[in-house]
Structure 1
Amino acid sequence: MSEGIKSAEERAAQERRGPPRSAHGPGGGLAAPVEKPTNFGASAKRLLGLLRPDRALLIVVVTLAAISVVLNAVGPYILAKATDLIFAGWIGGQMPAGVTQEQAVEGLRAAGEDTMADMVAAMAYLVPGEGIDFGAVAEVLLLVLGIYLIAALLSWVQARVLVVVVNRTIYNLRRDVEDKLNRLPLPYFDRQPRGELLSRVTNDIDNVSQSLQQTLSQLLTSLLTVVAMITMMFVISPTLALVALVTIPISMVLTAVIGKRAQAYFIKQWRHTGEVNSIVEESFTGHELIKVFGRQAESRRAFDTANNDLYAAGFGAQFVSGIIMPTMMFVGNLNYVVIAVLGGLRVASGTMSLGDVQAFIQYSRQFTQPLTQVASMANLMQSGVASAERVFELLDAEEQLPESGSPVSLLAPRGEVAFEDVAFAYDPERPLIHDLDLQVRPGQTVAIVGPTGAGKTTLVNLLMRFYELDSGRITLDGVDITDLTRQGLRSRIGMVLQDTWLFQGTIRENIAYGRPDATEAEILQAAEATYVDRFVHSLPDGYDTVLDSEGGNISAGEKQLITIARAFLSDPALLILDEATSSVDTRTELLLQHAMNALRSDRTSFVIAHRLSTIRDADLILVMQDGGIVEQGTHEQLLAADGAYAALYQSQFAGSAVDVDEEEQAPAT
């Protein structure tokens, strides 16, 4: 392949797609996006900031959670009384009746049982000679049961309210992402693989939702529980409380060290998820092309590579983050052993009651349990924040230029278009259009021809403001198009592209897409004028035939006819036809020429064509080459000039093609 042909193909790709994408086509390789530094704290803070609109409900959630935690914290303290009643009753039942507690203590000391004497002296509910007071024990148990029931009810209400808050937040996030997508410029989509973008909009937002729902309530309850348990432990025994608090810095250090390693894996996991989605989407879209060229093996290798990367990242994320919970449980068990030993010694010495030790052990378990739960949720939190970062990158992407502060409105545009010293480049290093001037009178049909990569499609994309100019300006009826709103500009333009686009719906709905308020008669008129009516009646359901999202149940030519009917129905002031008849047969093309002649009447039309036979009757033919207009005139004038247009025309109709290399190397005659 010669360098000339390669250059033409590169310019064509640049013209059609803009800057290179980060993923190749079907069967191609995959270029991994650059991984940005992760700021877990800032991203988590921003994610929680999304909850701010529902701050009133959040206050209710925190209040209910706090009350529930306090009631749960008070329960063991009250339950300790039942333990003391049972233990004191059991000890008192073994003592002789008729003696006081002080006398019993003195008797034990006289017998040399000082440890037992200290323990009996500390018992508040001991009555020598009397057994367990089951009535008092029942009262305590019923009180504790009531407290736990109320705490459970408040916890349930708190969880329900939090579900409402989280779902509202995710709803607003999806809405913000949708609005953001509508404000992004076309070059952003040129640079993003479709599967990667879909993964951010769907998978990542779903993961954020699940992470918030599964961790937010538990995290709030766990933090409040830790505070409540520490408070109650200090109330019972400051000394043992200080021993229990030693586990906090140990737990924090271990969680931070392990979590930092896990976060990098989660970032990679969701990045590779987007890559896998991108490959799958491209492979399914280009399934026929892959089959035709026998690239199944290459496509499978690309998928296997990305899938293996995803497996490795996912395994690493789950393995590393999974270490946190066993580590925390080990630390908690060590804490439990230490407190049990010290508590037993204090009971034996009479400085604490058995009920207090039991309550303290409960508090220590309830104190370490939230820390363990938080540690176990670390993988969910890190995964959710990693996904949130990817969504925030989308939300922070540079938007298209803002609309004019005082936009102009064209009520009845005539269709006069002017390009004045226009310059544009997808890549600043490779200018495409430069110093372009063009005047188009109202109602003219302007055909744009030229070799691949000359800038034909780019010219109409600039007119539609899909891209912004580097310099110069474009006017419509003397008004700079930047002074119009994009919606106001594009609502005046009908466009039929070479690549058709149909959505899942009936043929009637697809035709009426550009004008939803059209009547049935107007839809049928557009269908008849563009020869859609000719094939619709052969379908089982006629105009009510439901098309799939790819339009796979009708031919490529029939899809093109529907898109032309859609443009016909919108009745635009400007019409752009970009190889609109390339997918139809010759006979239908001739019929469509008549339809488009009627469609182009009384409106300015831009027709991009490679088949020069379709634009012979154009009022003005522009010949573009290397981003500039090298010739312009009517068909007859350009043939008479015997220049670039004549060479293109003769190459199509004068016989077989000549090898490009031979043609370039042939000496001038």
Structure 2
Amino acid sequence: MRDRATIKKVLRFIRPHGGLVALMLLLAAVTVASTLYAPILIGKAVDQIVGPGQIYVLKLSRILVQLGVVIAVTAVAQWLMNLLTNQVTYRVVQDVRAQAFLHLQKVPVSYIDQNQPGDILSRIVNDVSQFSDGLLMGFTQLFTGIVTILGTIGFMLSINVKIALLVVLLTPVSLFVASFIASRTYQMFRLQSEKRAEMTSLVEELVGNQKVVQAFSYERTAMERFDSINGQLQICGVRALFFSSITNPCTRFVNGLVYAGVGIFGAFTVIQQGMTVGQLTSFLNYANQYTKPFNEISGVVTELENAIACARRIFEFMETPVEEPDQKDAVVLQKVDGSLEVENVSFSYRKDTPLLQDISIQVQPGQRIAIVGPTGCGKTTMINLLMRFYDVDKGQIRISGYPVREVTRDSLRRNFGMVLQDTWLKAGTIRENIAYGNPDAAMEEIIQAAKQAHAHSFIQRLPKGYDTVIAEDGGNISQGQKQLLCIARVMLMHPPMLILDEATSSIDTRTEVRVQKAFAKLMEGRTSFIVAHRLSTIQEADLILVMKDGNIIEQGRHQELLEKSGFYAKLYESQFAAS
């Protein structure tokens, strides 16, 4: 097991449970000691019945009573040890999974954007489960195996030094076999974990977009992609299983040679009266107990190699850089007047591909700011910067006079209400989804927010009204209904600033008119940013920012921009040419 850094990290998680581990190891030592003492009693019992007419019933009875007590102690100690092993293992796994999920909340949005969700999911769920299985099986068996080996060597040396040395000299052969196989199983198990993550990502992608898959007749290509990854997983899985499965037979073969050598050499020693028959019986028991841990340890090592390979992937995720923490003296935004200033801001997702360049805008409290432009011009990027999902490369953004880097992210984001083009709803009731950002809201407030969003009527038609349970991401309601619920969710928050990113894109024209009226009422006195492709929805905006290639090329009110006959006028004419 060569990944010492990963093992040290695992030990850090085990350390808080040191008391239970110490007790567990003590019980393991008691189990080993009682197990090793039993062959001595068996040897003494054999010596009481060797030879014609030489059966010493009284002594034999005492030995058998002692043997019964030793076996009972072994059974109880082993049961308690296994109980504690389960406790320690599952507590460690709980801590690892909790910290991994906590880390997921702290990683920057850029990490989520750049990595497959299925791979992250596989690390937190699948790899932690594999890690727990290996840790559960291997932890005590490894310890008891090592103690058993050392203990049997000591007892064998006390009986006959020459035969004990014969056993010890054959030990490196078994160790070499186990080490040779383990070095190959680690790489196979690591590759298996990576391929399992790829498959999880692919399945999640296809299941979550099954309608698109079928609409574009992508089934055959999807199956080919799945078969390719599944085939690779099968190959590395078979290889890992092959190397792990030959470990036990190989070490058992070596151990059989050791046992045969002890039996033959011991028989000659008995004939020469170098030891008693009972001692030979004890020695054969010890030889068997001595070799047995090598079988177990070789099997345990393969499981631990798998566990360590999975643990390494977990720790790699947990060591990814977290979102830059708030400054120690960061201000908590409480009363926001809605003013906002973007001063000479530049930003790019990749340093070699510039996007926003030297952007400057001044927003007064209560203004409605529309951002328009062709796809990829930087509209959504502007929203990401306002919410501090990303930080600017150059320049400064101020809200109510405070630079956003000098305020806490939580208080900044609580002052914004967002309705995005991509709707998201959790598995739960309608009421819980509307109250997602304000769980303590009264039922009357929830209903009022739904009425303002024109969602109340369709909610009442559902089987259980506001207590109707919807599937994950709202799979059992229409896209337009999901959008209305997202709008109601924001309306319940009553934030001082709004961000509407294609907020009505999935709503029919008639409902859109009503929702626009609701938005108009909601936006009264609130600074609002409206990202829109349909220019009919932003004609009443106080300021329209026209973006192209990461720059604001025009700005002004709707009529002013039309009179300029510039880029905005061309966009408008392209949409309304028919009318």
- Normalised to the residue count of structure 1, the TM-score between the two structures is 0.85
Deviation per residue, 1:119-144 (Å, 9 max, x gap) = xxxxxxxxxxxx31122112111111
Counterparts of 2:303 and 2:312, CA distance in 1:
14
Moved more, 272-281 or 403-412: 403-412
* Greater Rg over alpha carbons, structure: 1
Identify the match of residue 404 of structure 1 among 327, 332, 349: 327
- Kept in 1, the 8 Å contact 2:45–2:60? The answer is yes
| 2:39 paired with 1:76 | yes
Aligned to 1:218: 141
- Among candidates 173, 176, 183, match of residue 253 of structure 1: 176
The residue aligned with 2:3 is 40
Indicate conservation of the 8 Å contact 1:417/1:476, yes or no. Answer: yes
Partner amino acid, structure 2, of 1:223: I
Q: Determine the C-alpha separation between the residues in 2 that align with 1:431 and 1:251.
A: 61
CA contact (8 A) 1:336 1:364 kept: yes
Q: Contact 2:48/2:55 (CA < 8 Å) preserved in 1?
A: yes
Distance in 2, matches of 1:212 and 1:377, equals 9
User: Given the alignment, which residue of 366, 371, 375 partners 2:289?
Assistant: 366
In the other structure, the counterpart of 2:68 is 145
Assess if the C-alpha contact under 8 Å between 1:318 and 1:379 holds in 2. no
Amino acid at match of 2:252: M
Give the match for residue 58 of structure 2. Answer: 135
Given the alignment of the two structures, is residue 52 of structure 1 paired with residue 15 of structure 2, yes or no? yes
User: Aligned partners of 1:632 and 1:248: how far apart in 2?
Assistant: 82
1:232 aligns with 2:232: no
Task: Report deviation, 1:402.
Answer: 1.5
Identify unmatched segments of 5+ residues in structure 1: 1-37, 94-130, 657-669
Verify the 8 A CA contact 1:498 1:581 in the aligned structure 2. Answer: yes
Residue 661 of structure 1 aligns with which residue?
none
- Structure 2 counterpart of 1:33: none
Pairwise CA distance, 1:151 = 1.7
CA distance in 2: counterparts of 1:530 and 1:405, whole angstroms: 39
How far apart are the structure 2 equivalents of 1:226 and 1:39?
A: 22
Distance 1:413 1:505 in 2: 32
Question: Match of 1:296?
Answer: 219
Of the three residues 109, 120, 134, the one matched with 1:186 is 109
User: For residues 537 and 510 of structure 1, what CA distance do their matches in structure 2 show?
Assistant: 15
CA–CA distance in structure 2, aligned partners of residues 39 and 396 of structure 1:
20
**Correspondence for 2:369:** 446
Choose which of 406, 409, 413 in structure 2 pairs with 1:483.
406
1:563-642 alignment, distance < 5 Å? 563-642=486-565
How big is the shift at 1:316?
0.4
Paired letter, 1:578:
D
Asked if the contact 1:68/1:155 (under 8 Å) is kept, the reply is yes
SS in 2 for 1:518: coil
Q: Within 5 A, what are the aligned runs for 1:169-568?
A: 169-568=92-491
Asked if 2 retains the 8 angstrom alpha-carbon contact of 1:539 and 1:545, the reply is yes
Partners of 2:550 and 2:66 in 1: how far apart? 86
Q: CA deviation at 1:410?
A: 2.0
Deviation at 1:41, TM superposition (A): 2.9
How many Å apart are 1:39 and its aligned residue?
4.9
RMSD between superposed Cα atoms in Å:
1.2
Which SS does the other structure have where 2:396 is aligned? Answer: strand
Of 4, 22, 27, the residue aligned with 1:64 is: 27
Contact 2:333–2:408, Cα closer than 8 Å, also in 1: no
CA distance in 1, matches of 2:504, 2:116: 28
Taking the aligned partners of 2:251 and 2:274, their CA distance within structure 1 comes to: 30
Q: Deviations over 1:615-640 (max 9, x none)?
A: 00001100011111111110011111
> Alpha-carbon deviation of 1:168?
1.1
Name the counterpart of 1:102. none
Contact 1:415–1:573 (Cα < 8 Å) also in 2:
yes
Identity of aligned residues (%): 40
2-structure distance, mates of 1:334, 1:368: 10
Distance apart, 1:357 and its partner CA:
0.9
Deviations 1:467-493 (A, max 9, x none): 121111211111111111111111111
CA distance in 1, matches of 2:203, 2:2: 30
Could you tell me how far 1:205 is from its partner in structure 2? Answer: 0.6
Deviations 1:189-245 (A, max 9, x none): 111111111111101111111111111121221111111111111111121111111
Deviation, structure 1 residue 304: 0.2
Q: Which amino acid aligns with 1:73?
A: L
Shift of 1:164: 1.2
Q: CA deviation at 1:331?
A: 0.5
Which amino acid in the other structure matches residue 379 of structure 2? K
Distance 2:134 2:309 in 1: 11
Aligned with 1:173: secondary structure?
Answer: helix
* Residue correspondence of structure 1 range 12-23 to structure 2 within 5 A: none
How far off is 1:257 after superposition?
A: 1.4
1-structure distance, mates of 2:130, 2:368: 52
Look up the SS of the partner of 2:435 in the other structure: helix
8 Å CA contact 2:544, 2:556 repeated in 1 = yes
SS at match of 1:410: coil
2: CA distance between counterparts of 1:234 and 1:517? 73
Tell me how far apart the structure 1 counterparts of residues 175 and 6 of structure 2 sit (CA, whole Å).
20
Deviation per residue, 1:62-82 (Å, 9 max, x gap): 111112211111111122111
**CA offset digits 1:437-464 (Å, max 9, x no partner):** 1111111110000000000000010111
Q: Distance in 1 between matches of 2:170 and 2:506?
A: 72
SS at match of 1:514: coil
> Which deviations, in whole Å up to 9, do the C-alpha atoms of 1:22-43 show, x marking residues without a partner?
xxxxxxxxxxxxxxxx953332
Kindly provide the amino acid, as one letter, of the partner of residue 627 in structure 1.
Answer: G
**1:252 & 1:446 partners in 2: Cα distance?**
72
Name the SS for the 1:393 alignment partner.
helix
The whole-number CA distance in structure 2 between the counterparts of 1:360 and 1:48 is 37
Deviation at 1:507, TM superposition (A): 0.8
Aligned residues: 579
CA distance in structure 2 between the aligned counterparts of 1:166 and 1:430, rounded to whole angstroms: 47
Task: Give the secondary-structure state (helix, strand or coil) at the position aligned to 2:345.
Answer: strand
